Amino acid sequence: MINRSEVKIEETWDLTHLFQSDEAFEKALEEAKADTTKLVETFKGKISNVDSVVSVINDYQELYKKMIPIGTFANLALSVDQTNDAAQLRAAKVGQIMASISAETSFVTSELLELDEALLEEASKKAPEFSVMIQELIRKKPYQLHPEVEKALAAFGTTFDGPYELYNTTKLVDMKFDDFEVNGEKFPLSYNLFEGDWELEHDTEKRRAAFNAFSNKLKDYQHTTAKTYDMHLQTEKTNSDLRGYDSIFDSLLFNQQVDRSLYNRQIDIIMKELAPHMRRYAKLVQKVHGLDKMTFADLKIPLDPSYEPTISVEESRQYMKDGLSIMGEDYVNMLDRSFDERWIDFAQNKGKSTGAFCSSPYGHHPYILISWTSRMNEVFVLAHELGHAGHFYLAHQNQNIFNSRPSLYFIEAPSTMNEMLMANHLLKSSTDARFKRWVISTIIARTYYHNFVTHLLEAAYQRKVYEIIDQGGNVNASILNKLKKDVLEEFWGGEVEINDGAELTWMRQPHYYMGLYPYTYSAGLTIATQVYQRIQTEGSNAVEDWLKVLKAGGTKDPVELAKMAGVDITTEQPLKDTITFIGSLIDQLEELTAEIEN
């Protein structure tokens, strides 16, 4: 892996769109601190009537707008190179200042919630642009603590973020992988190389050797990583107890605007009803590859690796435009801008965050991180992240900063929708059986496996962890390993051997530091699958409804947003229909494989 300094500039994102220089960044930081002081002097202890309520929310909104690019710049600069000392120190400095600003401005929420609810309702009517924010405040009222406690908790913001930072430092800075050896030949290994290449390697001996080497290195850090995670869990438990939630689940689901029934349903039904379909898929992969047995280390390999084409970054642009053109001219223009203006960081380098993500700072264009491997399946990864980008590109244009971000429950629907649209485009582009099999197998292995299996199994494991924490317990590496292995064995049954090292999969995901996030992937994809099928039958009308949903941002809860798109998630039917759809895709794979073999 090369150093960040050796990466071609055209493969990197352009953070100067946030700040032209370090001087501009420092100036913005000083302005934010000065605006904080002014906000405190103007409003603290003086919020007493409708006019002052509207004024303080407006001024706080302006401060919030200034803080967003500051935090984004510091975090993005660090995400592409965790080994960069300057980026580390800048991110730490910004974290401390943000925590201080959060503490100083915590009076805004506290004083607003001390007011009579009727007065808040009146302010909501006078300034309807703030009504969503005010209604959300009222909803939080039962769980609000004394103003001085809220201020103290806000001041500890960076401390509470410490476990996540420690996790990333352990994973991306301290953890060094040695080369692994197969038949006397050595091969390089890193987090990004394993997850981007070796996990998909069609040579079974190399793939399994890479898995063993990768797992052995994870094992060296399992106790530190488990202790780090437990610190995070105990912080969440303490916060839940202090605020008076009935359980840690209720605390973590509160901001998602859904109850435990939707959360549990997603996990329970998929564990029971999707598992038979995925076991069938695993056996098909084993048969096609002629494997002696199907192990956990073999689950990510493509059905037909010799067929998968390579693709350049520039070629991916046309795929994005062709595959997502149904979304309209404005959306396609955004896709062009993302390439022309360098919104995307494609590079592979030491210290770069693993996986892919999209950051969408309000008032600025989105940024996408991806480590480009030139594999064709990266088209789906990029389409996914551009789905997030397109969502917030539209939401930010149509909503204020308080209204633009929807519930986490809904957040993965626009991204996975793009994967479905891309798959549909590819399927229509060829009648060749082998190509169709590649596309459908990629939908299964990338879109559904990743979101309905990988992340759902994280969610099932995570639920077991939180059940322990909710009862006042703690976790360590032995407990986490057992919980993870139990979930994997339950889902895969006897069809897949859960080999040594699979139990350490809990160490690989940062999602566990983001609350009840993993299950939302399957929730989002359930909505996306149903809307995608509606687009196939209704065309432009369904697309227009979907665009309205994206523009609505966070002005409605997940149930209402899904309803706008024609999906009723208050029932289990959309989820069951989606699982049936996945089963039909696997039917097609079996039929196409038989056709190809004959």
For residue 332, the one-letter residue type is V
Q: Is residue 518 part of a domain?
A: yes
| Claim to verify: residue 140 and residue 275 sit in the same structural domain | no
In the beta sheet, which residues pair with residue 357? 369
Average pLDDT over residues 145-150: 92
Average pLDDT over residues 382-398: 97
pLDDT of residue 418: 95
pLDDT of residue 308: 74
Q: How confident is the model at residue 503 (pLDDT cuts 50, 70, 90)?
A: very high
> Tokens 């201020």 label which residue?
151
pLDDT of residue 304: 84
Distance CA 460, CA 496 (A): 18
Per cent of the chain over pLDDT 70 is: 100
Question: Would you state the torsion angle of the CA atoms of residues 65, 66, 71, 77, taken in this order, to the nearest 10 degrees?
Answer: 110
Average pLDDT over residues 25-48: 97
Is the distance from CB of 99 to CB of 156 less than 8 angstroms?
Answer: yes
Q: Which two tokens stand for residue 15?
A: 């953070």
Assess whether pLDDT exceeds 90 at residue 305: no
pLDDT of residue 569: 95
Is the distance from CB of 207 to CB of 298 less than 8 angstroms?
Answer: yes
| Claim to verify: residue 155 and residue 271 sit in the same structural domain | no
Q: Which two tokens stand for residue 510?
A: 């940062």
Distance of CA 348 to the CA centre of its chain: 20
Assess whether pLDDT exceeds 80 at residue 306: no
Q: Phi and psi of 180, rounded to 5°? A: -110, 160
pTM, two decimals, is 0.88
In the beta sheet, which residues pair with residue 359? 367
Is the distance from CB of 380 to CB of 422 less than 8 angstroms?
Answer: yes
Is the distance from CB of 74 to CB of 91 less than 8 angstroms?
Answer: yes
Distance CA 475, CA 225 (A): 11
Distance CA 473, CA 557 (A): 33
| Claim to verify: residue 293 and residue 148 sit in the same structural domain | no
Is the distance from CB of 551 to CB of 397 less than 8 angstroms?
Answer: yes
Q: Which residues make Cβ contacts (< 8 Å) with residue 413, sequence separation at least 6?
A: 523, 524, 525, 527, 528, 531, 561, 562
Distance CA 270, CA 579 (A): 8
Is the distance from CB of 300 to CB of 317 less than 8 angstroms?
Answer: no
Domains identified in the chain, total number: 2
Q: How confident is the model at residue 158 (pLDDT cuts 50, 70, 90)?
A: confident
Q: Is residue 146 part of a domain?
A: yes
Q: Is residue 240 part of a domain?
A: no
Q: Which residues make Cβ contacts (< 8 Å) with residue 358, sequence separation at least 6?
A: 366, 367, 368, 369, 385, 386, 388, 389, 392, 415
Assess whether pLDDT exceeds 90 at residue 340: yes
pLDDT of residue 452: 87
In the beta sheet, which residues pair with residue 369? 345, 357
- More confident call, 433 vs 369: 369
pLDDT of residue 449: 87
Distance CA 107, CA 60 (A): 11
Q: What is the radius of gyration, based on Cα positions, of the chain?
A: 24
Is the distance from CB of 418 to CB of 388 less than 8 angstroms?
Answer: no
Assess whether pLDDT exceeds 90 at residue 546: yes
Average pLDDT over residues 68-88: 96
Q: Which has the minimum average pLDDT: 74-88, 376-390, 442-456, 547-561?
A: 442-456
Tell which of 132, 160, 188 closes a domain: 160
pLDDT of residue 13: 98
pLDDT of residue 172: 85
Q: Is residue 343 part of a domain?
A: no
CATH code for the domain of 544: 1.10.1370.20
Tell which of 141, 160, 179 closes a domain: 160
Is the distance from CB of 435 to CB of 308 less than 8 angstroms?
Answer: no
Q: Is residue 71 part of a domain?
A: yes
Give helix then strand counts, H and E, for the chain: 25, 5
Per cent of the chain over pLDDT 90 is: 88
Rounded to a whole number, what is the largest CA-CA distance in the chain?
80
CATH code for the domain of 148: 1.20.140.70
pLDDT in tens, 174-226: 999 999 999 999 999 998 889 888 998 999 999 999 999 999 999 999 999 99
For residue 272, the one-letter residue type is K
Q: Is residue 224 part of a domain?
A: no
Residue ranges making up the domain that contains 434: 267-310+378-598
Mean pLDDT value across the chain: 94
Burial annotation 371-387 (CB, 10 A radius, 16+ → b, else e)? bbbebbbbbbbbbbbbb
| Claim to verify: residue 141 and residue 14 sit in the same structural domain | yes
Q: How confident is the model at residue 430 (pLDDT cuts 50, 70, 90)?
A: confident
Q: Is residue 288 part of a domain?
A: yes
Average pLDDT over residues 509-531: 92
pLDDT of residue 194: 93
pLDDT of residue 233: 97
| Claim to verify: residue 142 and residue 291 sit in the same structural domain | no
Q: Which of 142, 330, 154 is nearest to 243 (CA)?
A: 142
> Alpha helices of 290-412 — where are they, by DSSP H?
313-323, 329-340, 378-398
| Claim to verify: residue 145 and residue 276 sit in the same structural domain | no
3 state SS of 467: helix
pLDDT in tens, 276-292: 999 999 999 999 999 99
Distance CA 16, CA 378 (A): 26
Distance CA 310, CA 125 (A): 56
Tell which of 145, 160, 175 closes a domain: 160
pLDDT of residue 375: 84
Q: Is residue 256 part of a domain?
A: no
Distance CA 16, CA 1 (A): 25
| Claim to verify: residue 153 and residue 276 sit in the same structural domain | no
Average pLDDT over residues 310-322: 94
Distance CA 16, CA 71 (A): 14
